[in-house]
């Protein structure tokens, strides 16, 4: 936890509240998948290996930045409304803003909060995956002109991952290990 300010996410978010989080943490870098070359086996392998690391190292908290393409927030306002209404980090862990250019979810127009399906569809697939595992987000996005993205701090407490989801992730790991095994 003492290395949190030096993490990639620590450049953009004040993570001082997370210094008190009990247990080991891992920062997950951004997954980059070409939408025209989606290889589900590669994505499954990444999840399997991440599961292996979490289990082997007794990781209790995963965190990182989840990106939205581009720096215009207009296409994502419905998503921001959903994130604000359902997925904000607990106050005790919530990262504070430190970046000079942010967009607070509360600054989105009220009409952007009403359509769940539209908002969920506008939410990046990887972020939806983290949220389905019990994840949560900061109350703002950072505008990152260097990578031409908006990103939101994302955290997943391993203990909060639903048991069915943990079982699925371990199944992916077992499948990956079986494919890698050389017949004797």
Q: State how far the Cα of 102 lies from the Cα of 64, in Å rounded to an integer.
A: 17
Q: What is the pLDDT of residues 81-134, one digit of tens each?
A: 999 999 999 999 999 999 999 999 988 665 555 678 888 999 998 899 899 999
Tokens of 132: 């389905």
Dihedrals phi, psi of 148, to nearest 5 degrees: 55, 50
**Contacts for 132 with CB less than 8 Å, ≥ 6 apart:** 165
What's the rounded Cα separation, in Å, for the pair 56 and 171? 16
DSSP the chain: -TTGGGSTGGGTEE-GGGGG--SEEEEPPPP---TTS--HHHHHHHHHHHHHHHHHTTEEEEEEEEEEESS--GGGHHHHHHHHHH-BPPTTTPPEE-SSSEEEGGGS-GGGGS-HHHHHHHS-HHHHHHHHTT-EEEEEEEEETTTTEEEEEEEEEGGGS-HHHHHHHHHHHHHHHHHHSPP-
Model confidence pLDDT, tens digit, residues 149-184: 999 999 999 999 888 888 887 887 777 777 766 565
Biggest alpha carbon–alpha carbon distance for the chain:
62
Q: What is the pLDDT of residues 96-106, one digit of tens each?
A: 999 999 999 98
Which position has the higher pLDDT, 36 or 59? 59
Strand partners, 104: 140
| pLDDT higher than threshold 60 for residue 54 | yes
Q: Which residue, among 35, 63, 49, 41, has the nearest Cα to 127 in the 3D structure?
A: 63
């Amino acid at each position: 936890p003492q290395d949190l300010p030096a993490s990639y996410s620590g450049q953009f978010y004040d993570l001082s509240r997370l210094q008190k989080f009990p247990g080991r943490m891992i920062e997950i870098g951004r997954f980059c998948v070409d939408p025209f070359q989606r290889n589900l086996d590669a994505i499954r392998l990444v999840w399997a290996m991440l599961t292996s690391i979490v289990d082997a190292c007794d990781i209790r908290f995963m965190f990182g930045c989840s990106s939205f393409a581009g720096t215009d927030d207009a296409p994502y306002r419905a998503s921001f409304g959903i994130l604000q209404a359902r997925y904000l980090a607990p106050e005790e862990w919530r990262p504070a803003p430190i970046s000079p250019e942010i967009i607070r979810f509360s600054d989105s127009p009220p009409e952007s909060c009403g359509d769940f399906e539209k908002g969920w569809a506008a939410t990046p697939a990887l972020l939806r995956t983290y949220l389905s595992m019990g994840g949560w987000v900061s109350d703002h996005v950072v505008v990152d002109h260097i990578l031409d993205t908006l990103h939101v701090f994302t955290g997943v407490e391993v203990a909060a991952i639903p048991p069915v989801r943990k079982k699925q992730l371990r199944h992916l790991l077992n499948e990956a290990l079986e494919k890698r095994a050389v017949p004797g």
